[in-house]
Each structure stands twice: as C-alpha cells, then as structure tokens.
Amino acid sequence: MNKLNFSKVLALSPHTDDVEIACGGTIARLLRDGSMVKSVAFSGCEESVPPELPPSTLREEFVAAHKELGVGSDDCRVLDFKVRHFPRLRQEILEEMVSLNRKHQPDLVLVPSSMDTHQDHFTIAEEAFRAFKKTTIWGYDCPWNQQYPRLNCFIKLDEELMNKKLAAIAEYKSQQFRGGYVNEEFIRALALLRGGQIGEPLGEAFEIVRYMHR
C-alpha cells in the first residue's frame, strides 16, 4: 500500500463514535503511515447513555475506542454541544473550529459528508468548509444518513486495520443494544462493499470536499 502523505490530521466527529464507525480504518492507517492525528467529538451525547450508566460513559468510551486505533488520550477531546441542537449553535461551533484550525494547523480534516442529512452531521460539514478554507477536507461515509452519497475517494484497508476499527467500535459497550451500524457484520459488510468498488478486499470511502495540493 502506498502511504497516505499527510502530516497533521484533524478528525471531527459530531458525536462520540461517528469517526470510528465511518473511518476508523483510515485513521489507523494514517497513524501507521506516520501522520499525527487529533480527534474531537462535539458532543458527549449524554442523552444516548442508558439511564443505568453514568452520564460520562460515552466520553470514556470515546477515549478507549481511540486508544484501539492508536490515538492517545491527550490527542482526543469531547466538547459540550447538545446533541441534535447543532443548527442553532452553528456560530459557536464555527468559532470552535477556527480555534482548532489555528491551534493544530492540519493538512487534512475528516468531517461528515456534505450529503449527510443528520442535522448535527450536516452542521459540522458546513461549518468545517468555512473554518478550514485552505485545508484538504474529506467527508466520511455514513450511508445510513445519506440519500445521494457522493463518494469519489476510496482508501484500501487490510485485515490489521479492519481489526483495529472493529476493536474501537467494540469499546462502545453502552451502544451495543442498538445493533445496526455498531454491528460487526454491518461494519465488515460495508468495508467489503467499499473495497469491492476499487477491486480490493476491504476499504472505506470519502467525498473529497476540498483538495489542496502544495
């Protein structure tokens, strides 16, 4: 596999678990190829934590999941935006992104696809386009939220990367009752589909929102 040549990568997740599910294999590959990766979730999704568990559960699982991908606890953060309220908080979200850009100066930003219909995902995608005007942006693949996916970038994964992705998602023990997109069979089936589209065993797909060549 040719290396992914990005020095500093910023992964932006509307909610805890989004980047691990959508592009955890690519994050693990970027790290293996020598990139520095910072990951920020904008909401701890306390409303999604089962009532018998502590409200901080998803925040703790986010850190544990990133450890499986190879991202240390000092390189991942969870912010305090309220889930499903992002559209009315877009100015505060934009200001946070501008601050992140100034602090980390990434050369690749991973965000939800511009075709993502979830209100929080779409807000992150829109504000990232404004905040990272001089940066390559890839929109990651959440097919359960997309009517018309615009996928034009495919990343080959191998079994080692796939296993890291599955191990990361498995850390979200509080969400396993949901099935669906946290289910191992679904995650592997999607990787088989995206890999098959480029003639490879496994893959992940993105929308190239902006490409900066220097």
Q: What is the full per-residue pLDDT of the chain (214 aa) written as tens digits?
A: 789 999 999 999 999 999 999 999 999 999 999 999 999 999 999 998 999 999 999 999 999 999 999 999 999 999 999 999 999 999 999 999 999 999 999 999 999 999 999 999 999 999 999 999 999 999 999 999 998 889 999 999 999 999 999 999 999 999 887 766 788 999 999 999 999 999 999 999 999 999 998 7
Separation CA 22–CA 19 (nearest Å)? 5
Nearest CA-CA partner of 94 in 139, 117, 128: 128
The CATH number given to whatever domain includes residue 49 is 3.40.50.10320
Look at residue 2 and tell me if it is in a domain. Answer: no
Look at residue 108 and tell me if it is in a domain. Answer: yes
Look at residue 132 and tell me if it is in a domain. Answer: yes
Look at residue 36 and tell me if it is in a domain. Answer: yes
Look at residue 1 and tell me if it is in a domain. Answer: no
Q: How far apart are the first and last CA of the chain?
A: 22
Separation CA 127–CA 123 (nearest Å)? 6
Look at residue 27 and tell me if it is in a domain. Answer: yes
| Strand ranges across the sheet with 76-78 | 76-78, 36-43, 8-15, 108-112, 136-140, 202-210, 153-157
Look at residue 3 and tell me if it is in a domain. Answer: no
Tally of structural domains, the chain: 1
- Full domain range(s) for residue 108: 8-210
